[in-house]
Amino acid sequence: MKRQILCFLWLICTLWASCVREDTFDNTPEGNFEALWSIIDEHYCFLDYKAQTIGLDWNRVHTQYKQRINPNMNNAQLQEVLTEMLAELRDGHVNLYTSADVSRYWSWHEDYPRNWTQELRDKYLGTDYKIAAGINYRILDDNIGYLVYESFSNGVGEGNLDDVMYYLRSCNGLIIDMRGNTGGQVTYAEMLSQRLTNERILVGYTQYKTGRGHNDFSAPKAEYIEPSKGVRWQKRVVVLQNRECYSACNVFIRNARECPQVTTLGDMSGGGAGMPFSSELPNGWAVRFSASPSLDKDMQHIEFGIAPDIPCALTKTDADKGEDTLIEQARKILKGG
């Protein structure tokens, strides 16, 4: 018995030789740089894809930016270097949050024409448009429904969508204007796209990382949209898109383009196909990054956007006339022109 007791005590005393801990970095400019580089290296989901498409070499990035780190730099200087390093990813879902600023990469829409103006939108909506939660809508003069969903951060319920679809039921077609919608909740994007189909449709695939390696991914899992049990749209639809259509809006466009009777019109969408996760640095700065990629139904990446069925841009001539080129083009399509 004594021997058993001694064995147990020995076991307890030696157990903690194998503590579960994570590698730590010092709270210094170099430590925070290494921590950020490692977080992206181990968790970011597009390193391999972007190595193939834009020549991103994350090891080269480490070498290049580490030279700019020195122990005496202040927070603003450190953030500037880290922001530039993260910009190499060309990802709007990547941010570095400090108490003074939010580092961001917005070139995915800032480098392109918006193809819409609030003034023109207001003109089409008028003053007596209806508001159902996050959706603004009305019937245009030629009996075309016009629906604007400005942000999927604004919620909508199934009851709202029933009311919107029912109100627009007599219209000859529907314009869904997504320009300027930079995303939000994927749930709302799926709810709206479920109104556009009578059948279960394969719209894409999702993956997530299963380990620290750049290529450690789960098998792609199919994503379907199920037809809504509420009021569904049965006529033609034109979805207006621009470079600002990002993240959840990008998912909506991916889903909508697989629905029958839907035509997409405008510019490339902005992309943003990685569900973002959060982490942090030893100095307390928070970092957001893409962790889980969405693919289209052909298993192709949509991180850099989705091309429209019909390219179309807002012309200055039309804008000066008070007309929105995309809306007018959509009206022609819906009228069979």
Tell the smallest beta-carbon distance from residue 233 to another protein (Å).
Answer: 24
**Interacting residues of 268 by C-beta distance below 8 A, sequence separation 6+:** 112, 241, 243, 304, 305, 306, 307, 308
Task: Output 287 or 312, the one with its CB closest to another protein.
Answer: 287
Report the run of H or E that residue 308 belongs to, with start and end.
Answer: none
Per CB under 8 A, the segment of 60-68, 147-155, 273-281, 328-336 that binds another protein is 273-281
Task: Output 98 or 241, the one with its CB closest to another protein.
Answer: 98
- How far apart are the C-alpha atoms of 172 and 274, rounded to whole Å? 36
Among 29, 33, 34, 35, binds another protein (CB under 8 A): 35
Question: Strand, coil or helix: what is 34?
Answer: helix
Among 64, 70, 198, 210, binds another protein (CB under 8 A): 210
Under rule CB under 8 A, residue 282 binds another protein: yes
Under rule CB under 8 A, residue 21 binds another protein: yes
Query: What stretches of 248-336 show up as alpha helix (H) in DSSP?
Result: 248-256, 316-321, 325-334
User: For the chain, how many residues are written?
Assistant: 337
Per CB under 8 A, the segment of 18-26, 56-64, 233-241, 317-325 that binds another protein is 18-26
Task: Output 88 or 223, the one with its CB closest to another protein.
Answer: 223
What tokens appear for 331 in the block? 């009206």
Tell the smallest beta-carbon distance from residue 103 to another protein (Å).
Answer: 16
First to last CA, the chain: 93
Binding mask 121-160 for another protein (x = CB under 8 A): ----------------------------------------
Of 251, 130, 104, the C-alpha closest to 182 is: 251
- What beta strand segments (E) does the chain contain? 95-97, 102-103, 130-132, 135-139, 144-149, 173-177, 201-206, 221-225, 237-241, 262-266, 274-280, 286-296, 310-311
Among 180, 183, 204, 276, binds another protein (CB under 8 A): 276
Under rule CB under 8 A, residue 65 binds another protein: no
- How far apart are the C-alpha atoms of 94 and 104, rounded to whole Å? 7
Under rule CB under 8 A, residue 288 binds another protein: yes
Assess contact for 135 and 195: CB atoms under 8 A. no
Under rule CB under 8 A, residue 10 binds another protein: no
Question: Strand, coil or helix: what is 27?
Answer: coil
Question: Strand, coil or helix: what is 11?
Answer: helix
Tell the smallest beta-carbon distance from residue 115 to another protein (Å).
Answer: 29
Among 12, 59, 100, 317, binds another protein (CB under 8 A): 12
| Contact residues: another protein, CB under 8 A | 1-2, 4-5, 8, 11-12, 15-16, 18-24, 27, 35, 39, 43, 45, 99, 186-187, 206, 208-212, 216, 218, 221, 223, 275-280, 282-284, 286, 288, 291-292
